[in-house]
Amino acid sequence: MSSIFKSVMIILVSVAIVFASIGCSKEETTVSIGISKIIQHPALDAIEQGIIDGLAELGYEDIVFDLQNANGDITTATSIAQKFKADKVDLAIGIATPTAQALANIISDSPVLFSAVTEPIEAGLVENYDHGIGNVTGVSDLTPVEAQIRLLAEVTNIKRLGHVYTSGEANAVLLAEMAEKVCKELGIEFVPSAVTNSSEVKQAAQAIASRVDGFYVSNDNTVVSALPSLADVAMQAGVPIMSADTTSAVGTDVMLAWGFDYYKLGKATALMAAEVLEGADPSTIPVGFMTDPSDIELRVNLDVAAQLGITIADSILDQAAVIVKDGKDISQ
């Protein structure tokens, strides 16, 4: 064997080894994503599933998800964030304000996205909506509070509006303040009742039910997780509910629900996650908002309205994406 032939063979073998090692590393490389949600309820579950399905539809097949639920506890949310940091996840996603804050406070060496954070500036996650800050950006779920309350007032001509909210959750406090401002503008008495956890929701609703003409439920995860118990109180008191969460309104005695399709919110988060996974710097990505009219839907439950003796005008039914009558959606 000539020296030239030997040299060529050595080069070819070396190249083959390099390509073999690259192929092996590609097969072995997976993306790890940690998702932490503050509590389990249909809307947040829908966001989580939307993220998973959205990334799959975008062609991400080799993802290992670490799905965590803080069960409404801030200490647990912090522990989850510490776990994600120790595990060195490639991307951490916080669904709802407390979990997003925990991730942002603890993880600094990998990207963090928030989802379903009503007011990320007030929550200290970003400084403006034009771009993220450091390793953090995400998608907001700010809903049309004024339009929601105005619609309830149009349907029921309420004079006193009850609102149960979580005093320790930044977005819940902000939404309570927004609701109070709207009520003041409309000449409606605002009757708040604060809770610290979901087990207090029913009692908080009972405390004010006899003094109100209706309830407004915001995107308050603690309250939404106990929506069935609040709805039971409202029905016993003979007053309607307007909820900002259409997902959780399914199967409960909520007369009106007007808000986002949270599954779509999850998919919007997946799109942003894909940007980050492709190398985009979170600090350059603007905060996302669900602004397309198709992202927001109105759900009307005529069965609940009938039980409460309330008539829903055709002009409102014409705007509804879902109309429930005799337990079925008759809008299609």
Looking at residue 29, what is its pLDDT? 66
Are 274 and 246 in a shared domain? no
Are 274 and 129 in a shared domain? yes
Is 244 a member of any domain? yes
**DSSP structure string for 169-201:** -HHHHHHHHHHHHHHHHHT-EEEEEEESSGGGH
Total length of the chain: 332
Strand partners, 165: 194
> Among candidates 54, 45, 35, 225, which has minimal Cα distance to 114?
35
140's CB contacts (< 8 A; 6+ apart) are 116, 117, 118, 119, 120, 287, 288, 289, 290
Are 73 and 101 in a shared domain? yes
Q: Are strands 322-325 and 328-329 parallel, antiparallel or unpaired?
A: antiparallel
Is 167 a member of any domain? yes
Is 207 a member of any domain? yes
Query: Sheet holding 112-115: strands in order across?
Result: 63-69, 31-37, 91-95, 112-115, 136-139
AA letter at 173: V
Looking at residue 17, what is its pLDDT? 37
Are 315 and 190 in a shared domain? yes
pTM given for the model: 0.78
Encoded tokens for 119: 């007011």
Q: What is the DSSP letter of 251?
A: T
Is 22 a member of any domain? no
Are 43 and 67 in a shared domain? yes
Query: Sheet holding 241-243: strands in order across?
Result: 189-195, 160-166, 214-217, 241-243, 256-260, 296-301, 322-325, 328-329
Are 185 and 302 in a shared domain? yes
58: burial class by Cβ within 10 Å (0-12, 13-18, 19+)?
A: middle
Low-confidence ranges of the chain (pLDDT < 50): 1-28
AA letter at 277: L
Looking at residue 10, what is its pLDDT? 35
Are 312 and 273 in a shared domain? no
Looking at residue 226, what is its pLDDT? 96
Are 229 and 119 in a shared domain? no
Looking at residue 28, what is its pLDDT? 45
State the Cα–Cα distance between residues 115 and 234, nearest whole angstrom. Answer: 30
Give the domain extent around 314. Answer: 145-260+294-329
Is 1 a member of any domain? no
AA letter at 280: A
Are 63 and 207 in a shared domain? no
Strands (E), the chain: 31-37, 63-69, 91-95, 112-115, 136-139, 160-166, 189-195, 214-217, 241-243, 256-260, 296-301, 322-325, 328-329
State the Cα–Cα distance between residues 76 and 74, nearest whole angstrom. Answer: 5
**Beta carbons within 10 angstroms of residue 76's beta carbon:** 18
CB 104 within 8 A of CB 137: no
Are 189 and 120 in a shared domain? no
Are 187 and 321 in a shared domain? yes
Is 235 a member of any domain? yes
Encoded tokens for 21: 């090692």
Are 307 and 319 in a shared domain? yes
Is 107 a member of any domain? yes
Q: What is the DSSP letter of 284?
A: G
Question: How many separate domains does the chain show?
Answer: 2
Strand partners, 191: 162
121: three-class secondary structure by DSSP: coil
Is 16 a member of any domain? no
Contacts 24+ apart (CB under 8 A), 25-30: 29/62, 30/62, 30/63, 30/64
User: What phi, psi does 26 have (nearest 5°)?
Assistant: -65, -40
The domain spanning residue 107 has which CATH number? 3.40.50.2300
